[in-house]
């Protein structure tokens, strides 16, 4: 019986590891964020500087609350336009934890924007950085620690990261972007486990349109589609409402995965706070109490009386 239990725990560990780290499929690859639209630069480097101001963004996600070893992710990014020549720069730091493993990704983003006309702009982006992976097998309840795959911890395993993106938007009305945040293929655990898992190139397609219902209400439907070779296509659809340029309410659906509710508040022309809750629609939902996203944005906007940044993306 002990052998069966230990084998089960080992299997659960590798399943959880695959869910959070970028190994096996889209839903199991890069961290999922319900509020991705408020931290777009981590998805698409071409977004760097597109808001026209120095922008700081922080997002924390606690996934599958109540499930031991469930993923937790913390993201910080800063980006800004540089000068008047259409150049944007950004820095992103993503830290993921799941079970006994931690993964840190540090990247620099560069974008160049070309005005197609007075209101339409096309941006090209490049992302480059590093990835550091740590796994502490001592945190596992392993009966036989002499087994090869658990004999040595993984410490700061380095791999490079590079990505590309394009982003097209019309004033504050609509946008569409295509990107691959990491176009390199990287093998993980190849020295310790006979079955090697690889990180494949990921592709993101994002788009949205802002409808001005009246002077005090805007409606923005948006989609996020993610694809990777060997895994099912992932699809997120959301509908957000902005009231009086200050208060945001939204709902979203992640295909075969979760439904979510979102709320955001623009405190003033510089600070925005947001929160979202995900309800898991899979069988895993029977073993956790949902996922939580917390979001904060600070921007160095021009200080004018009663000024609120009207940009909804």
Mean pLDDT for 24-30 is: 41
Domain assignment of residue 35, yes or no: no
With 0.75 as the threshold, say if the pTM is over it. Answer: yes
Beta bridge partners of 298: 56, 271
Model pLDDT, residue 187: 57
Domain assignment of residue 12, yes or no: no
Decide if pLDDT at 166 tops 70. yes
> Please, which pLDDT band fits residue 83 given cuts at 50, 70 and 90?
confident
Mean pLDDT for 149-164 is: 80
Domain assignment of residue 36, yes or no: no
Number of domains in the chain: 1
Residue whose C-alpha is closest to residue 58's, from 300, 272, 303: 272
Q: Is 66 helix (H, G, I), strand (E, B) or coil?
A: coil
Model pLDDT, residue 263: 96
- Domain coverage including residue 143: 43-189+204-299
Q: List strand residue ranges (DSSP E) for the chain, in order.
A: 55-62, 72-82, 87-98, 101-115, 120-135, 154-170, 174-180, 186-188, 197-199, 203-209, 211-214, 217-227, 234-243, 247-254, 258-266, 271-280, 291-299
Domain assignment of residue 154, yes or no: yes
Mean pLDDT for 71-82 is: 94
**Tell me, what CATH number does 112's domain have?**
2.40.160
Domain assignment of residue 179, yes or no: yes
- To 10 degrees, the CA torsion angle through 143, 99, 183, 204? 140
Domain assignment of residue 21, yes or no: no
Contact 167, 46 (CB under 8 A): yes
Domain assignment of residue 87, yes or no: yes
Q: List strand residue ranges (DSSP E) for 233-270, in order.
A: 234-243, 247-254, 258-266
Domain assignment of residue 6, yes or no: no
């Amino acid at each position: 019986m002990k052998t069966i239990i230990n084998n089960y725990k080992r299997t659960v560990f590798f399943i959880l590891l695959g869910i959070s780290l970028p190994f096996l499929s889209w839903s199991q690859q890069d961290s999922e964020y319900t509020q991705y639209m408020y931290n777009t630069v981590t998805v698409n480097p071409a977004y760097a500087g597109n808001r026209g101001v120095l922008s700081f963004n922080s997002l924390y996600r606690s996934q599958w609350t109540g499930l031991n070893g469930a993923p937790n992710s913390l993201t910080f990014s800063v980006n800004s336009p540089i000068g008047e020549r259409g150049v944007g720069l950004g820095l992103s730091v993503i830290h993921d934890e799941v079970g006994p493993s931690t993964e840190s990704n540090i990247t620099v983003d560069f974008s160049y924007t070309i005005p197609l006309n007075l209101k339409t702009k096309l941006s090209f982006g490049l992302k480059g950085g590093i990835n550091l992976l740590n796994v502490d097998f001592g945190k596992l309840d392993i009966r036989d620690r002499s087994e090869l795959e658990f004999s040595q911890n993984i410490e700061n395993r380095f791999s490079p990261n590079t990505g590309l993106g394009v982003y097209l938007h019309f004033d504050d009305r609509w946008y569409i972007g295509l990107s691959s945040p990491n176009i390199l293929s990287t093998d993980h655990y190849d020295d310790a486990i006979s079955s090697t898992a690889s990180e494949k190139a990921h592709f993101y397609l994002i788009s949205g349109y802002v409808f001005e219902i009246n002077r005090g209400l805007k409606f923005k439907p948006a989609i996020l589609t993610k694809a990777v070779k060997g895994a099912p296509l992932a699809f997120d659809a959301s509908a957000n409402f902005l009231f009086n340029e200050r208060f945001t309410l939204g709902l979203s659906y992640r295909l075969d995965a979760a439904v979510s509710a979102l709320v955001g508040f623009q405190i003033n022309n510089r600070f925005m706070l947001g929160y979202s809750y995900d309800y898991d629609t899979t069988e895993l939902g029977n073993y956790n109490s949902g996922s939580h996203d917390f979001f904060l944005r600070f921007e160095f906007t021009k200080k004018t009386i009663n000024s609120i940044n009207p940009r909804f993306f």
